[in-house]
Each structure stands twice: as structure tokens, then as C-alpha cells.
């Protein structure tokens, strides 16, 4: 699993919220007038040359009116603490400090599973320390999920499954993560993108998923990726009346036909939740479609603005 890319996407899509969550104290001084932009990797390669060390995300915070010096945040994600190198991070910070002619550099390391090394680095002799380096360490697995379950910070809400909670609270935190995504992110494409993020880090087993959909049916029904998981489990579990009918027919007419009926019932339910009741003609077309066509239509739900854009 590419954890680096998952968190890189998250930080690039929500840079301000990422800093407010991962580096709260430093981010408190960043007001709404500040502009936060990622430093392009090709820019680093060009200006740092062989010294360039590609970490996850360097972010540049600028105040357009010039009242404050620019501030560079370096945000690195580490899924395996053992591979983290304080020396490597210190080198990178020095390079960026020189590149931007600034001492205002804030290193931030997001540990997915916690860290097993002491923070900071000190170099010196017997009497004095001549180089002292430290960083902000955000250990997601040690943060109390309950403290963030109602936050308006979407980065924190998406990371609820990565935080600390009691086993019996797992589904509650997943539900809060989903609700945060739906309430805080209006863009349907990003909703789909970060549904995958939540799904990956929740890692529900089949029993947990069955229980989850009972308590969070509305959230589950609105997300097409969850609908795909419903379909895969449809013959064994059933999804309300439509999928149950598909199971019964599948037993009589064969597994393939039963799966098709279940997929059609799911698609009809999702479309009607978003656009209202279907016409008889539209319903007939969906019920008669083959599995490949149903999959194509289901992928259009998130971006479609009308039923006709789905069932063409």
C-alpha cells in the first residue's frame, strides 16, 4: 500500500487543514490572509541539484502584503518508524533554508503507527552542542479519536480510523469519518477519492461491515464504492427487498442471474436516493442490463447530474 501517496494527496488537497491538524501550534499563527502553496518537486530538483532529497510535501506559507517572512513547512509521512531518518530530514531542512534564504522552516513528521526513535538531533563536543535539530512528531495511533470525532477539520476527520479508540468504538469512528467527508467536502469527486482513504485505513472485516451498514445505512447508500462492496456480498447477505429478490431468483435460475438482479436493485436504489423515483422505462432498462453495463452505469453516479447521464 502506498501510504506516502495517500497522505501526499491529502496534504495537497487540504494544505491549510493539514497544517492545522498535524502542526497545530505553528499553524495557529497562519491567518486567513496567508497563501499556502506546495513547492514543486521540479523546482527543488533544479535549484538543489544533487542535494535534492525528495520527501513528501514541502509547503510554502506566504503573506502577500509582505508583513511577515515566508514560512516553509516540510511534512513527511512515515508508515514504518524504523525507516525514518532524523539526519535525512535535517539535511533537507538545511537545503530548503538555504534555497529560500530563510530560517523559518518547520519540519513535521506524521507517524502512522507511532515512532520508536527519540525526536531531535544534537551535534557537538564534550562541552557544547553546536547543532540542535528537532521536529514536530504527530503520532496518529496515539491521538484520541474521541477528541476529534466532531471536528470541522476534514483532515482530522478522515484520519479517525488511524487514531486510538476502544475496539467497540471502531464503527462509530468510521461513521464519523464518513459523515465528516460528506458534510465537509461538497465535491463529489473528492468524496469518492477520500472514501477510498477511509475504507483503506478502516480495514473492516465482513462482520464489521454488515454491522456498519445497519447503523449507517444513509452514508453507505450514498457512496458508490460501498455499493460495489454490497454487490460483492449480495448473494450471501441481501440488501433490502431488491437484493433479497435477486438472491431468491439466483437460487432458482443460477448464480449469474441472481448477481445481476442484485446489482440492478442496488443501482436503482442509489439512483432513486439521488434523483427521485425512476420512470417505468428507466427501471426496465436497468433490470434488463447485463453486469458489465450495470458496472459502467454505477460508476457514473457520483458525477452525474441527471438520470439520463447514467442510463444513456
The per-residue DSSP string of 158-204 comes to HTGGGSB--GGGHHHHHHHHHHHHHHH---HHHHHHHHHHHHHHH--
Last residue of a domain, one of 121, 142, 163: 142
Do residues 235 and 182 both lie within one domain?
no
Do residues 172 and 47 both lie within one domain?
no
Do residues 265 and 182 both lie within one domain?
no
Burial class (CB in 10 A: 0-12, 13-18, 19+), 150: exposed
Strand 57-62 relative to strand 105-111, pairing: unpaired
Last residue of a domain, one of 101, 121, 142: 142
How far, in whole angstroms, is CA 231 from its chain's centroid? 23
pLDDT at 36: 93
Average pLDDT rounded to a whole number, residues 254-265: 65
242 has a pLDDT exceeding 60: no
Do residues 125 and 12 both lie within one domain?
yes
Domain count, the chain: 3
Sign of dihedral through CA atoms 94, 98, 99, 104? positive
Do residues 7 and 119 both lie within one domain?
yes
Do residues 36 and 112 both lie within one domain?
yes
Residue-wise pLDDT tens digits, 18-60: 999 999 999 998 988 899 998 877 667 777 776 666 667 889 9
Residue of 265 and 251 predicted with greater confidence? 265
Do residues 51 and 129 both lie within one domain?
yes
The model's pTM is 0.68
Do residues 198 and 170 both lie within one domain?
yes
Do residues 209 and 193 both lie within one domain?
no
pLDDT at 127: 94
Q: Are 157 and 148 in contact (CB under 8 A)?
A: yes
- b/e 213-235 (16+ beta carbons within 10 angstroms → b): beebeebbbbbbbbbebbbebbb
Do residues 58 and 79 both lie within one domain?
yes
Residues facing 35 on adjacent strands:
62
256 has a pLDDT exceeding 70: no
- The C-alpha cell at 285 is 432498462
What is the domain range of residue 160?
A: 150-203
Do residues 161 and 186 both lie within one domain?
yes
Residue-wise pLDDT tens digits, 73-90: 989 888 776 778 888 899
Mean pLDDT of the chain, nearest integer: 82
d(CA 209, CA 298): 20
Residue-wise pLDDT tens digits, 108-146: 999 988 776 667 899 999 999 999 999 999 999 999 999
Residue of 52 and 211 predicted with greater confidence? 211
pLDDT at 259: 61
pLDDT at 51: 65
Last residue of a domain, one of 89, 115, 142: 142
- Of 204, 110, 191, nearest in space to 161 by CA: 204
Strand 71-78 relative to strand 57-62, pairing: antiparallel
194 has a pLDDT exceeding 50: yes
Residue-wise pLDDT tens digits, 150-169: 999 999 999 999 999 999 99
Do residues 47 and 31 both lie within one domain?
yes
Amino acid at each position: 500500500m502506498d501510504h506516502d501517496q495517500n497522505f501526499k494527496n491529502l496534504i495537497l488537497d487540504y494544505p491549510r487543514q493539514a497544517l492545522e491538524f498535524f502542526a497545530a501550534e505553528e499553524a495557529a499563527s497562519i491567518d486567513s490572509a496567508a497563501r499556502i502553496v506546495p513547492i514543486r518537486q521540479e523546482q527543488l530538483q533544479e535549484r538543489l541539484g544533487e542535494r535534492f532529497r525528495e520527501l513528501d510535501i514541502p509547503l510554502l506559507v506566504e503573506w502577500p502584503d509582505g508583513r511577515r517572512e515566508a514560512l516553509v513547512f516540510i511534512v513527511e509521512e512515515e508508515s514504518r518508524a524504523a525507516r525514518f531518518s532524523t539526519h535525512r530530514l535535517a539535511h533537507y531542512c538545511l537545503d530548503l533554508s538555504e534555497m529560500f534564504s530563510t530560517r523559518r522552516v518547520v519540519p513535521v513528521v506524521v507517524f502512522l503507527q507511532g515512532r520508536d526513535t527519540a525526536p531531535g538531533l544534537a551535534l557537538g563536543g564534550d562541552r557544547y552542542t553546536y547543532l540542535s535539530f528537532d521536529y514536530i512528531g504527530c503520532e496518529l495511533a496515539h491521538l484520541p479519536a474521541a477528541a476529534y470525532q466532531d471536528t470541522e477539520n476534514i483532515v482530522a476527520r478522515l484520519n479517525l480510523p488511524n487514531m486510538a479508540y476502544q475496539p467497540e468504538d471502531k464503527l462509530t469512528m468510521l461513521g464519523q469519518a464518513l459523515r465528516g467527508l460528506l458534510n465537509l467536502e461538497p465535491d463529489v469527486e473528492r468524496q469518492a477519492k477520500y472514501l477510498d482513504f477511509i475504507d483503506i485505513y478502516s480495514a473492516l472485516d465482513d462482520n464489521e461491515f454488515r454491522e456498519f451498514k445497519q447503523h449507517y445505512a444513509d452514508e453507505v447508500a450514498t457512496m458508490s464504492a460501498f455499493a460495489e462492496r454490497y454487490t460483492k456480498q449480495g448473494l450471501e447477505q441481501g440488501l433490502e427487498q431488491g437484493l433479497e429478490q435477486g438472491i431468491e431468483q439466483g437460487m432458482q435460475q443460477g448464480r449469474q442471474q441472481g448477481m445481476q438482479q442484485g446489482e440492478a436493485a442496488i443501482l436503482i436504489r442509489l439512483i432513486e436516493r439521488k434523483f427521485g423515483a425512476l420512470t417505468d422505462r428507466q427501471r426496465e432498462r436497468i433490470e434488463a442490463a447485463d453486469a458489465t453495463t450495470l458496472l459502467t452505469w454505477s460508476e457514473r453516479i457520483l458525477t452525474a447530474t441527471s438520470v439520463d447521464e447514467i442510463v444513456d
